[in-house]
Amino acid sequence: MLHLLRFELGEEAFWNGLRKFTKENFGGSVTTAQFQQAMEAARGKSLARFFSQWIYGSDAPELTAKHRWERGQVIIELRQKNPLQFPLQIAVETADGRVSKRIELDSLRHEARIPARSQPLSIRVDDGGHLPFKVSHERDTAMLLYQLEREPDVIGRVDAMKELQARIPNDLNLRPRFSAALQERLKNDSSRLVRELAQKALAEMSH
């Protein structure tokens, strides 16, 4: 929740609010309401909606995404189970480079459009992993392998690894390519978490 709040507020307001909260309440007991007030003061506007949804709310968030490429753009269809409002970062990578776009999701259905002159190599819904829940996004095996090998954020690589691992029992042709990608992650990944998960996945595949 704090990671999402940080994304909602921006770096400066978030850290100013956190410093204000800890300074004013050092050594004492605190409440969620006090924390909300400190962050609202740093932002200069109400956070009632955020705290109502993510702290006090009981609705289980669920977001699904489907994408297609047509007429020089990637079209991403987003659907929510409950009408929650939150910022969402989407990144599309093609042979021309990577484009990241922030949208404000506030309806059950939303269609995001990002220019792309060539077929997308990677599409990350929730780029940076800000949401406190998993996004269900349909991607083909080639895109998942690309994301496992090249996604800049750790959560993106872990997500791709888990999706590919779940497909192994139903796709025998995937095993050698997935194994090679795991070996590469185990050897070269900058994240200890990714290396440990790659080692565990390789061990499970060997049994």
Average pLDDT over residues 170-178: 92
Average pLDDT over residues 120-128: 95
d(CA 46, CA 133): 24
Please state the φ and ψ torsions of residue 88, each to the nearest 5 degrees.
-140, 130
Q: Are 163 and 139 in contact (CB under 8 A)?
A: yes
Q: Are 197 and 161 in contact (CB under 8 A)?
A: yes
Looking at residue 174, its pLDDT comes to 94
Cα distance between the two ends of the chain: 38
Looking at residue 61, its pLDDT comes to 87
Question: Model confidence over 48-86: pLDDT tens digits?
Answer: 999 999 988 877 789 999 999 998 999 999 999 888 899
- The model carries a pTM of 0.85
